[in-house]
């Protein structure tokens, strides 16, 4: 009994000591592990396959197969081994699925495996496993890092806590909205922690203030990230600073779930670390285009908007485009180039739309107009009467997407923190984003890191938040609810009328 307790205390002491920070040798080993290059500038080569083809190790670093946590990541039918030190050195040795057996590794036998490709019993390693030609100092450094690897936690991940953050307006006209979102996220975190947290860790939530300018917003986020204590961001308000924040967050490798943005950047320019809940303007216009085709035969589809990347995305699937320079919209010239049977996908501003509608109303027969939700302000109800039933809007979500169970889960949060009665849609969006993040964290298990979190998000399929359409992501998909509701403007009734259920773009 005494020996078992002493052994356990020794292991805990080792873990605590190992988590304290990396030394120079271990940092050198970490670079070799992650990138296949040495801080000393010494060459490292990887030898691949039966014929041991030599390539730079930077093309086949350890982490590319074993993962940044060393636990192995299946790829192409190959399941790389878990190379954490506790696994390699376990006393009873190893028996692999395909029959290879060998004793536990020590530092000497691991060095042979790395440089010669044989295990402690002298067996050849799997042919898919390269061995490496490198200086002895680099071998020693790599092994030193492998002994630390499993105890190195990502920023914001502690033994008993995970630090998350959000970015919200805390002052100015949008402050009440920020306060409402903060309240619902705080209540959700309190509910989680009351129930034991996520995989044994309690959640802590930091609020980063949205700046008065995009530059100040980026500076506020950078300052928070430099603390090194934020694992992921959730439900952030990034309007006006999307591009700059994407660059900053990629630099720090921080996952973002559910940013509040119309995602003006094209899909190809979005950060792989960012997971949107809803369709942005590009996806909404694609949904509208598909609806127009199904509802109106072979009409010509024309996209009208400022000459930017979004217009380019939409132009890929319509008949024609009429671009104009930013803030230089000539409504009369554009209207003169349209036919009565055209379907117009409009990407301009609300003010440009109002001007455009007045001119088009003078036409003998007005075209049908298709708009993203951001353009559908209450002023649209004052459109000329000739547009009754001829204006269609794409919405990423509507109140009907909230199920009864979703409403009950929201109502339960009121027992932890008083929730404001206003900004219900913003609260629901933030709560859904938090649920998606927590689900991916739970699937990641206790060995939580950012790489594993992103992988779990990429594997999420039709996750039911109870608050949104089903959420699905994949390796090449970063919009969870990829689709839209189509709504028609009914001027007689003075309202927008949903005419389709939520339509998936899958």
CATH number of the domain that residue 388 is part of: 3.40.50.2300
Please tell me whether residues 309 and 366 are part of one structural domain.
yes
Query: Residue 78 has what pLDDT?
Result: 66
Among 105, 132, 151, where does a domain finish?
Answer: 151
Please tell me whether residues 9 and 126 are part of one structural domain.
yes
Instruction: Supply 136's token pair.
Output: 């002895």
Query: Residue 269 has what pLDDT?
Result: 58
480 belongs to a structural domain: no
Query: Residue 10 has what pLDDT?
Result: 41
Is the pLDDT higher at 365 or at 105? Answer: 105
Label residue 305 by pLDDT band (50, 70, 90). very high
Among 109, 128, 151, where does a domain finish?
Answer: 151
> What is the rounded average pLDDT of the residues 253-266?
75
Would you say residue 16 has pLDDT above 60? Answer: no
358 belongs to a structural domain: yes
User: How many other CB atoms sit within 10 Å of the CB of residue 384?
Assistant: 14
Distance between CA atoms of 435 and 463, rounded to whole angstroms? 10
Q: Which residue has the tokens 């990502």?
A: 154
Mean confidence (pLDDT) of the chain: 88
Instruction: Supply 463's token pair.
Output: 């996750």
Please tell me whether residues 31 and 173 are part of one structural domain.
no
Residue 43 sits in which domain range?
2-151
Contact 46, 56 (CB under 8 A): yes
Q: Which of 171, 147, 133 is nearest to 45 (CA)?
A: 133
Would you say residue 314 has pLDDT above 50? Answer: yes
Please tell me whether residues 41 and 133 are part of one structural domain.
yes
> What is the rounded average pLDDT of the residues 460-468?
97
Number of domains in the chain: 3
Would you say residue 355 has pLDDT above 80? Answer: yes
The model's pLDDT over 383-442, given as tens digits with 9 standing for 90+, comes to 999 999 999 999 999 999 999 999 999 999 999 999 999 999 999 999 999 999 999 999
156 belongs to a structural domain: no
Please tell me whether residues 228 and 137 are part of one structural domain.
no
Please tell me whether residues 291 and 391 are part of one structural domain.
yes
Is the pLDDT higher at 76 or at 23? Answer: 23
> What is the rounded average pLDDT of the residues 75-93?
80
Please tell me whether residues 361 and 387 are part of one structural domain.
yes
> What is the rounded average pLDDT of the residues 131-137?
94
End-to-end Cα spacing for the chain: 59
Q: Are strands 343-346 and 301-306 parallel, antiparallel or unpaired?
A: parallel
Please tell me whether residues 357 and 219 are part of one structural domain.
no
Please tell me whether residues 361 and 440 are part of one structural domain.
no
26 belongs to a structural domain: yes
Contact 339, 300 (CB under 8 A): yes
> What is the rounded average pLDDT of the residues 171-183?
95
Query: Residue 20 has what pLDDT?
Result: 44
Please tell me whether residues 489 and 451 are part of one structural domain.
no
189 belongs to a structural domain: yes
Distance between CA atoms of 301 and 409, rounded to whole angstroms? 43
The β-bridge partners of 15 are: none
Please tell me whether residues 76 and 184 are part of one structural domain.
no
Phi, psi of 116 (to 5 degrees): -115, -15
Query: Residue 263 has what pLDDT?
Result: 52
The model's pLDDT over 189-222, given as tens digits with 9 standing for 90+, comes to 999 999 999 999 999 999 999 999 999 999 999 9
Is the pLDDT higher at 125 or at 239? Answer: 125
**Ramachandran class of 99: left when φ > 0, alpha when ψ lies in -120 to 50, beta otherwise:** left
Would you say residue 340 has pLDDT above 80? Answer: no
Please tell me whether residues 286 and 262 are part of one structural domain.
no
- The contacts of residue 336 (CB under 8 Å, 6+ apart) are none
Instruction: Supply 20's token pair.
Output: 């304290």
Is the pLDDT higher at 481 or at 99? Answer: 481
433 belongs to a structural domain: yes
- The contacts of residue 273 (CB under 8 Å, 6+ apart) are 249, 250, 253, 254, 255, 256, 454
Is the pLDDT higher at 93 or at 245? Answer: 245
Q: Would you call 202 helix, strand, or coil by DSSP? A: strand
Q: Of all helices (H) and strands (E), which one includes residue 51?
A: none
């Amino acid at each position: 009994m005494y020996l078992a307790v002493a052994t356990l205390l020794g292991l805990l002491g080792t873990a605590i000591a190992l988590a304290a920070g990396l030394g120079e040798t271990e940092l050198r080993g970490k670079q070799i592990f992650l990138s296949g290059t040495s801080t000393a500038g010494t060459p490292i080569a990887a030898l691949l396959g039966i014929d041991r083809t030599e390539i730079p190790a930077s093309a086949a670093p350890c982490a590319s197969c074993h993962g940044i946590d060393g636990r192995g990541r299946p790829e192409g039918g190959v399941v790389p081994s878990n190379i954490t030190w506790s696994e390699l050195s376990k006393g009873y040795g190893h028996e692999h699925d395909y029959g290879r057996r060998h004793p536990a590794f020590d530092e000497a036998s691991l060095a042979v495996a790395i440089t010669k490709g044989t295990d402690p019993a002298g067996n050849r390693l799997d042919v898919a496993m390269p061995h490496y030609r490198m200086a002895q100092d680099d071998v020693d450094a790599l092994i030193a890092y492998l002994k630390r690897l499993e105890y190195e936690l990502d920023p914001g991940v502690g033994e008993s806590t995970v630090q998350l953050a959000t970015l919200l307006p805390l002052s100015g006209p949008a402050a009440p909205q920020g306060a409402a979102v903060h309240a619902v996220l705080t209540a959700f975190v309190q509910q989680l922690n009351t129930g034991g947290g996520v995989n044994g860790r309690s959640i802590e939530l930091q609020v980063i203030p949205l700046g008065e300018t995009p530059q100040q917003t980026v500076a506020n986020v950078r300052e928070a990230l430099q603390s090194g204590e934020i694992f992921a961001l959730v439900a952030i308000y990034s309007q006006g600073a999307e591009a700059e924040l994407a660059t900053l967050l990629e630099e720090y490798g921080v996952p973002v779930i559910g940013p509040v943005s119309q995602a003006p950047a094209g899909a190809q320019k979005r950060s792989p670390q960012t997971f949107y809940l809803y369709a942005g303007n590009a996806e909404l216009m694609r949904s509208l285009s598909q609806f127009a085709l199904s509802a109106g035969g072979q009409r010509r589809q024309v996209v009208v908007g400022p000459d930017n990347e979004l217009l380019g995305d939409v132009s890929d699937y319509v008949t024609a485009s009429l671009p104009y320079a930013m803030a230089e919209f000539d409504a009369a010239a554009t209207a003169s180039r349209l036919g009565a049977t055209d379907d117009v996908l409009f990407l301009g501003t609300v003010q440009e739309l109002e001007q455009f509608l007045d001119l088009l109303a003078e036409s003998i027969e007005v075209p049908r107009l298709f708009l993203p939700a951001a353009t559908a302000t209450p002023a649209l109800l004052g459109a000329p009467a000739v547009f009754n039933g001829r204006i269609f809007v794409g919405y990423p979500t509507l109140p009907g997407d909230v199920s009864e169970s979703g409403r009950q889960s929201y109502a339960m949060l009121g027992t932890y923190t008083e929730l404001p009665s206003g900004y219900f849609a913003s609260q629901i969006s933030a709560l859904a984003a938090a649920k998606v993040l927590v689900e991916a964290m739970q699937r990641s298990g206790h060995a939580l890191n950012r790489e594993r979190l992103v992988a779990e998000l990429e594997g999420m399929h039709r996750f039911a938040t109870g608050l949104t359409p089903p959420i699905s992501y994949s390796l090449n998909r970063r919009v969870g609810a990829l689709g839209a509701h189509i709504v028609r403007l009914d001027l007689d009734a003075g309202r927008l009328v949903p005419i389709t259920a939520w339509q998936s773009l899958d």
